[in-house]
């Protein structure tokens, strides 16, 4: 058995964004390794509803994400 059979190398980001109604959302999100922070910022804007502004995208650490 190999680690790659069960796990995927990933990156953990801390993200803060503001919604159209003024709420501040703070989340830790996991993405595949090697993505630039600007890609993460654009993905957050397009994949969450009613995002007015992404305030912060901060690299936290490398993590393993379970497959399946």
Asked if residue 31 lies in contact with residue 66, where contact means CB atoms within 8 angstroms, the answer is: no
Its domain, for residue 23, covers: 3-35+51-66
Q: CB within 8 A of 8, min separation 6: which ones?
A: 32, 64, 65, 66, 67
> Quick one: pLDDT band at residue 1, thresholds 50, 70, 90?
confident
d(C-alpha 40, C-alpha 46), whole Å? 10
pLDDT digits (tens, 9 = 90+) for 2-53: 889 999 999 999 999 999 999 999 999 999 999 999 999 999 999 999 999 9
Going by C-alpha positions, the residue among 55, 53, 65, 50 that lies closest to residue 11 is 65
pTM, 2 dp: 0.88
Number of domains forming the structure of the chain: 1
């Amino acid at each position: 058995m190999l680690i790659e059979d069960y796990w995927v190398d990933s990156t953990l980001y801390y993200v803060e964004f503001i919604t159209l109604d003024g709420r501040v959302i703070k989340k830790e999100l996991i993405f595949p390794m090697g993505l630039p922070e600007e890609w993460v910022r654009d993905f957050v804007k397009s994949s969450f509803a009613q995002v007015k502004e992404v305030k912060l995208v901060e690299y936290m650490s490398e993590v393993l994400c379970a497959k399946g």
